[in-house]
Amino acid sequence: MKKALIGGLVGGIILFMWQFLSWSMLNIHSSQQAYTPKQDQILDCLKSAGIAEGEYFLPNVSPDLPSDQHQEQMQKFMGKPWAQVSYHNSMNMNMGMNMFRGFIINFLSVFLLCYLFLSDKQLDFKKVFSGSLIVGLISYMTIPYLNSIWFEGDTIPDLIDAVVQWGICGLFLAWYLPSKK
């Protein structure tokens, strides 16, 4: 258990540091948060529309529309503009709590991976390193990439994150976890 806790702590720090670099200094995710000089107009329009905080897919079919009319309504949207909107009434940048929660998730993710690895009595460098990369690729394919299939997003930054952060973490875990003879 001690190895899993230490592996989770150090691995969590590795993931956290990569995420900091990726989203800030390296700005790998700039394509996922593009600037538009029309932002004030767009935000004013959303605010004046009086929508509730939430996530929206536009255009969409009213939930009040009978189900037998959904397909017909969707056909009307084909070839027209569409958007995904995450709308909030006010910007809140509670960086301290967000960073704390992010680190806890990173720690738990690596801790759980260590827990799985440590059940293998034949653990070696190759198994741990390749297993860590596989976890990164699975996490990329099942969330960001799968969403991009439906919503046409740019997931190359997420792929870079998955490979680099789990690769670096995997190198540490591959050095640390196997029993030294």
Largest CA distance in the chain: 68
Instruction: Say whether 6 sits in a helix, a strand or coil.
Output: helix
What pLDDT is stored for residue 10 in this prediction?
A: 96
What pLDDT is stored for residue 151 in this prediction?
A: 87
Q: Is 131 exposed, middle or buried (0-12, 13-18, 19+ CB in 10 A)?
A: buried
Cβ atoms 157, 28 nearer than 8 A = yes
pTM, two decimals, is 0.82
Q: How far is CA 115 from the centre of its chain?
A: 22
- Measured CA to CA, the distance from residue 40 to residue 43 in angstroms comes to 5
Going from N- to C-terminal start, the domains of the chain cover 2-31+107-176
Specify the residue for token string 């919503």: 151
What pLDDT is stored for residue 180 in this prediction?
A: 66
**Confidence band (pLDDT; 50, 70, 90) for 4?**
very high
What pLDDT is stored for residue 94 in this prediction?
A: 82
160-170 pLDDT tens trace: 999 999 999 99
Over pLDDT 70: what percentage of the chain?
Answer: 99
| Alpha helices, DSSP H, located in the chain | 2-23, 39-49, 70-77, 95-117, 125-140, 146-151, 156-176
CB-CB neighbours of 24 under 10 Å? 10
73-128 pLDDT tens trace: 888 999 999 989 999 988 888 888 989 999 999 999 999 999 999 999 999 999 99
41-52 pLDDT tens trace: 999 999 999 999
Instruction: Say whether 65 sits in a helix, a strand or coil.
Output: coil
Q: How far is CA 169 from the centre of its chain?
A: 17
